[in-house]
Amino acid sequence: MGNVRRSVALIVAVIMMATLLAACGGKTTQQEPELKVFRTYLTSDCPILNGHDSVESSLQVPHDYCSSPLYRVYPNEDGKGYHYIGDLAEGMPIQIDEYNWQIKIRKEAKWHNGEPINADTIIYSWKMLLDPILANQMADFLATGSITIVNAREYQRQGTENTVAWEDVGIKKIDDYTIQITTAYPNTAEEVCAQFVDRSTFPVYQPYYEAGMNESRTQTTYGTTLDEWMGCGPYFFKKWEFGNMHVYEKNPDHWLADLFHYDRVEVYIVPDMNARVQMWESGQLDYFVPDANTIDRYINDPRMVSYESLGVDHIDINCKNPTNPISGLIEYRKAVYHAIDRETVAREIYGHMKPTGTYVNGQAGILSPSGLTYRESEYGKAVTEMVNQWGPYGYNPELALDYMKQAFAKAGLSDNDVITLKWICEGSDVEAKATGEFLMEEFERIFEGRIKLEVISTAGMSATQFKRTGDDKWDLSPNQWTRSLSRKFPYMCFYYYLSTYATAPNNYFDEEFDAQYAVCDAPELKNDYDRMLQETKKLEEIYLEKVIHVPTVQRVVYEMFSDRVKLPVDRYIPGLGWGTIYGDIVK
C-alpha cells in the first residue's frame, strides 16, 4: 500500500514538473518567416461544410478559399470596382437567345484529389441542391436570385408529388464541358454570373455525397467532417479543428493560382471579444471588427475603415399578444414608432451607428446599372424627408403620446390604466438589452406612466427562436434581417415581412403591403430601375403608414486590417467587399 502511494505521488510530481517545463519552454509561434500567412477569425465555426444545407454565412469563408464556384468577383485594376471572372467556368456566359445561356467549364478544372470536374459534376451538384426529397435549405439560392432558373423552384418544392421532372428544369448538359441555363426572364451576363458565386452553387464531390446518403435519400453526411468533403479551390483545406481553427494552404496547381498571394490562411474561431482584442493588439490577427464596447478605442485609428451595411436594426411588434389589449391597434404601433429617440440609441448605445426612421438600407440599389442607391435617389430622399418632418428620424414624443392616448381610448382603457410591455432579446445581445433598458425610462416618461417596459432576456435563445416556441406573450423585440439581393433590387429588403414568407420573424401582415411588393417584383420592372425606385418608394410609405415594424439604426460596419496586409481595392465595394481573398502580405 505504501509503495502504491509513493508511486502515485511520484507520478503526480512528474506530471506537475512536466506541466511546468512544457508550459514555460518553447516559442510562441513556429511560423516560417518566408511564408505569407493571412490570419483572420470567425466568431463561430461552420456546423458542416456542405454548402447545400447550412445557412451559416461563416461557411462562405472555407468555400471561397478551398472550393471553386463557376464565377468569382474580382477587383478592377484601378481598385475602384469589380468584375466577374470565370473560375470553374471558362470565360463569361455565352448568350444563346433572350432566355438561354451557355457556360463552358474549364478542361483543366479538377478536384484536390486530381479527379476531373466537368459538366456532369455541375449538373449533379445542382440536381442534388434542388432535390425535392433532400430539402436543402440553400436551394433557393440557385433557383432564384439575380436570375430565375426555369422550373427550378417548382422542382425543388414539389415534395414527393413528381409533377415537375428534372428534365423540365432549365439546367441542361450540352456536352462534357458545356451546360445551358434557361432563365424565366431576360438577363445580363453579369446577372447570370452573380447567381453562381454563392457557396450553395459550388460543386459537390459525388462519391462522398452519395456515400453519406441515407437509405431514404433524405439526408447526406457530406461535409460533416473534412474526410467527407472535397475541395477544388485555390487553397487546400489542411486542418479543421472544429471550434478552434481552420488552416488553408495554397494550391499552386489551381488554374487561378496567380491571383491569390497568401501562402497560408489561418482562420481562428474566437467567440470571445476580449480574446479578439488581445489578439489584434498583440499582432496575432490581420483583420478585426470592433464592437460597440471597443469602437471608441479605435475610431480614430488610421487603419479603421467603415461603410453602411445591409442591416437596418428594427423592432418587431407583436400584434397578437393576448395579454396586451392594445397590441392589435395601429395607433399603438405608431406610438411606438414615434417614441424612439434613434439618435441616442444609434450613437450612444450602439456606438457610432446611424439613426434611421426608414427601412431600406444604405446599400440598397448600389449594384443597379446606374449605381444609384435608393436612399440617394429622389424617391428615397422624399421618404427620408417625410420621416424627418415628423421629427428627427421620426422621433416625436408628443405625437407618440397622442397616438398612445388614442390606442387606450380605442381599447376602452382609462388614463390610469398601465400596460406592461415585454421587450424580449437574447441575453448576450448587449445593444438590444441596453436599448430595452433605455426605452424603459423613455416610455414611462413619454407615455406619462401608461406604459411600463419589462426587459426579458431569452437566455441563450435568439429572439427569433423564442418566437418559434409559440410563446406569444411578448410585445417588442429588436431584430435585424438582411437580404443581399437588395443591393440590386432595393425593395427586396422587405421580403421577410410578406405574409407569403414562411418563416417570417413577425406576425403582422398587410394585404396592401403584399400587393405593392408584388408590383415591385414584376418582371417588367427588373429592367426599368427608375420605375422600380418609384414603386419602392410607395412600398416604403405603406411600410411606414402601417408600421410593419419600427426601424431604428442603420448599421455601419467598422473593420480594421493590419499594416502588413495590402488590399486590392482602396475602398469598400458592395458585392466585393475589400477583396481580402486577393490581398497580399507586405513587410
Q: Where do contacts with other proteins occur on this chain (CB under 8 A)?
A: 12, 15-16, 19, 22-26, 28-30, 45, 47-48, 50, 53-54, 132-133, 135, 137, 157-160, 212, 214-216, 218-222, 224-225, 239, 241-245, 247, 268-272, 274-275, 278-279, 281-282, 284, 460-461, 465, 468-470, 502-503
Nearer to other proteins, 113 or 225 (CB): 225
Residue position matching grid coordinates 496547381: 253
The CB-of-222 to other proteins minimum distance in angstroms stands at: 8
* Spatial distance between the Cα atoms of 458 and 104, rounded to a whole number of angstroms: 50
Closest CA to 266 of 248, 241, 243: 248
* Spatial distance between the Cα atoms of 272 and 231, rounded to a whole number of angstroms: 29
C-alpha cell at 315: 423592432
For the chain, how big is the Rg over CA atoms in Å? Answer: 27
Nearer to other proteins, 274 or 420 (CB): 274
The CB-of-528 to other proteins minimum distance in angstroms stands at: 31
Beta partners for residue 363, in sequence order: none
CB 466 within 8 A of CB 302: no
Nearer to other proteins, 47 or 325 (CB): 47
Instruction: Return the amino acid letter for 384.
Output: T
DSSP class of residue 461?
S
**φ, ψ for residue 4, nearest 5 deg:** -60, -45
* Spatial distance between the Cα atoms of 5 and 490, rounded to a whole number of angstroms: 75
The CB-of-572 to other proteins minimum distance in angstroms stands at: 28
CA distances from 502 to 27, 90, 160, 505, 543 (A): 54, 38, 20, 9, 19
Q: Is the dihedral of CA 327, 333, 335, 340 positive or negative?
A: positive
CB 414 within 8 A of CB 325: no
> Which residues neighbour 437 within 8 Å (Cβ) at sequence distance 6 or greater?
455
The CB-of-4 to other proteins minimum distance in angstroms stands at: 9
User: For the chain, percent helix, then strand, then coil, each to nearest 5?
Assistant: 35, 20, 45
Nearer to other proteins, 224 or 406 (CB): 224
The CB-of-111 to other proteins minimum distance in angstroms stands at: 21
Nearer to other proteins, 411 or 430 (CB): 430
Nearer to other proteins, 200 or 536 (CB): 200
Nearer to other proteins, 159 or 371 (CB): 159
Nearer to other proteins, 56 or 437 (CB): 56
* Spatial distance between the Cα atoms of 461 and 221, rounded to a whole number of angstroms: 26
CB 61 within 8 A of CB 267: yes
The angle that helices 529-546 and 330-338 make with each other, rounded to 10 degrees, is: 100
The CB-of-279 to other proteins minimum distance in angstroms stands at: 5
How big is the CA angle at 52 (ends 48 and 55), to the nearest 5 degrees? 65
The CB-of-206 to other proteins minimum distance in angstroms stands at: 17
Nearer to other proteins, 8 or 299 (CB): 8
DSSP class of residue 92?
S
The CB-of-242 to other proteins minimum distance in angstroms stands at: 5
Nearer to other proteins, 70 or 143 (CB): 143
The angle that helices 529-546 and 511-520 make with each other, rounded to 10 degrees, is: 170
Beta partners for residue 455, in sequence order: 423
Helix segments in 411-528, DSSP class H: 430-446, 463-468, 511-520
Nearer to other proteins, 500 or 527 (CB): 500
C-alpha cell at 390: 415628423
Nearer to other proteins, 14 or 174 (CB): 14
**CA-based end-to-end distance of the chain:** 63
